[in-house]
Amino acid sequence: MRGAGGWWRAKSTPAKVETYTRWSFHFFGVIEVLAIGTSALGEAGAGVGLWLLLVVSVHAVIGAVTASRALDWTRGQREQPVRLLWALAAVTAVIAVGAIGLAERGPGGEEVESAAGAVFGGVLAFGAGTIALGVRDRKRVFGIVGGFAAGASTVSWPIGLPGPAALFTGFMVLLGGGFLAFTSIFSVWLLNAVYELDAARETRARLAVAEERLRFGRDLHDVMGRNLAVIALKSELAVQLARRERPEAVEQMIEVQRIAQESQREVRDVVRGYREADLGAELAGARGVLTAAGITCEMAEEPLALPAEVQSALGWVVREATTNVLRHGDAGRCAVGLRMAEGRVVLTVENDGAGTASQGAGSGLAGLRERLAAVDGTLEAGHVGDGLFRVVAEVPVTAQVQMSEVAAV
């Protein structure tokens, strides 16, 4: 059971919905056998009842295979199973005609007639609902369900069923087939919507990364564009002066050297600002991203008077932990705690819905440990319960920081 639970928790939300949808359609076949086949066996007896159970089971198996292939088609994993849809329609028609013929013309009493009539209406309803899964056009779905209902009335009346009873049979097929067709279409729509939402979340994350890269590129261009243009201009001027053996060429090259050194310093400042993370900004950003992803957040407030290097290191912990929550598992709640304890500031990030695989398997947490080591900090990460994953970062703080924190309180 633990392995089965781990297999389920390791799936993403769209994969869980797809698995649930597939087994729901397979369960339709089980319902068809149990509700129609076994009922026919109980009413008609061991002779005719076994044959009715057999044909219903064959119809249920073909319907389950058709539903699986049709669901693959709706997910774009295979071509539309046209031949299988036609085969299911043909088998449904043959079984329905045989059942109504057995009910009206075959041997047996009222029990056989009742069992055959249930098989007739049941296979038509389940057949219409399953075939509707393999088409996209709404008009075609209406045509399939209506055609099966009309066929039920048309076939049953000439065999000997009274007119009102034939109309009632068609209405019941319309009602049952319509319900199953609606269930199939709605299930596929829901599955596609879940996949689209998951893709939108991934796209939003990629856009955020792209936006950050554009910002960095824009800042770097603003810093280097003008300086490089001046360097190119002064270098060209120095070349011209050197060709004329003018002493001003040395002054121009000294100026080029100065601008190059200044550009190097400005680039370092840009990169340093890009690599440093502000704790308050990261906490606010994590709250916004997690809330947008539908995850309940319990976010701590930033403590006062933390050194800049400590804030930067803890900010990176919040950023990486938030990324792991979004990318791994299926979290519904995330709690971020920040407190002072025995001369250390402790940051805790805990989320549920963690899969069996470790969220720290990549290089992200290793990089965090290197950043925290620069400020004498430590990092612990791992599973702490059923589906719970916790990241704990501890960084020592000076006595002055602790006193300022107490004064702020």
What local confidence, expressed as pLDDT, does residue 329 receive? 64
For 44-54, how does the pLDDT look when each residue is reduced to its tens digit (9 = 90+)? 777 777 888 88
E strands, 108-205, are: none
**pLDDT at residue 365 greater than cutoff 50:** yes
Give pLDDT, residue 403: 36
Answer for the pair 365, 320: CB distance below 8 angstroms, yes or no.
yes
Please write down the long-range contacts of 376-379, taking CB distance under 8 Å and 24 or more positions apart: 377/310, 377/313, 379/317
Q: Which residue has the higher pLDDT, 72 or 285?
A: 72
List domains and CATH numbers for the chain: 2-200 (no CATH), 207-275 (1.20.5), 279-408 (3.30.565.10)
- The 10s digit of each residue's pLDDT in 84-140 is 889 988 988 888 888 877 776 666 667 777 787 788 888 888 888 888 888 877 788
Tens digit of each residue's pLDDT (9 = 90 or more) over 195-204: 888 887 777 7
Question: Which pTM was predicted?
Answer: 0.56
Measure the CA dihedral 266/270/276/279, to 10°. Answer: 110
Instruction: Order the strands of the 344-351 sheet from edge to edge.
Output: 296-299, 333-341, 344-351, 388-396, 378-385
Considering only 2-6, 9-13, 192-196, 380-384, which range has the smallest mean pLDDT?
2-6
Which stretches does DSSP call E strand in 157-213?
none
Note whether 199 and 231 are within 8 A (CB).
no
For residues 76 and 68, what is the distance between their CA atoms, to the nearest angstrom?
13
- Model pLDDT for residues 321-361, shown as the tens digit of each residue: 888 887 776 788 899 988 887 788 999 999 987 765 545 55
**273-286 average pLDDT score:** 73
Name residues whose C-beta falls within 8 Å of residue 23's C-beta, 6 or more positions apart in sequence.
none
Instruction: Identify the DSSP state of 398.
Output: -
pLDDT of residue 392: 93
Going by pLDDT thresholds of 50, 70 and 90, the confidence category of residue 405 is very low
